[in-house]
Amino acid sequence: MSKIVWVNGCFDVLHRGHLELFKYAKSKGQKLIVGIDSDNKVRQSKGTTRPINCQEDRKFILQSIRYIDEVIIFDTHQDLKELIKKYNPIMVIGSDWKGKEVIGEEYSTELCFFDRISGYSTTDTLRKLNG
């Protein structure tokens, strides 16, 4: 049985930090599945100006990255929890989540933390674009 690794997020404006995350996550198993927030979920959590790229475009771009084997769009926390329960994966999340509740962690075989790459963040990228 192959080890499935799970990463999830918005992945709206990709940068090197995201690619390093995917590379690290893929090194933890044989199959990397990336769950992405639906457009509706992004608007609810980040405001009406987001996402910059629609869910189908985000999915297409992610599917083009060599480390990623599958991309799944989810709409709610419950949807996310059910997906993690279905795949029973190793979960890779940002180290800023240490000590916090991680949705679906009870269904994962292992929780791995990824240290964010300094100088790379979507928020900073959008600030630069907006001047």
pLDDT digits 0-9 by tens, 28-79: 999 999 999 999 999 999 999 899 999 999 999 999 999 999 999 999 999 9
pLDDT of residue 128: 66
DSSP state of 116: P
Total number of residues shown for the chain: 131
**For the chain, what is the radius of gyration of the CA atoms?**
14
pLDDT tens for 79-92 read 999 999 999 999 99
Residue 35 has which token pair? 């769950």
Residue 58 C-beta-side C-alpha neighbours within 13 Å: 26
Q: Are 119 and 96 in contact (CB under 8 A)?
A: no
Q: Coil, strand or helix: which one is 98?
A: coil
Lowest mean pLDDT across 20-24, 97-101, 124-128: 124-128
Residue 111, SS3 per DSSP: strand
- pLDDT higher than 80, residue 4: yes
Q: pTM (2 decimals)?
A: 0.90
Q: What is the rounded (10 degree) CA torsion for 117, 121, 124, 130?
A: 140
Q: What is the pLDDT of residue 131?
A: 72
pLDDT score at 73: 98
pLDDT band, very low/low/confident/very high, at 118 (cuts 50, 70, 90): confident
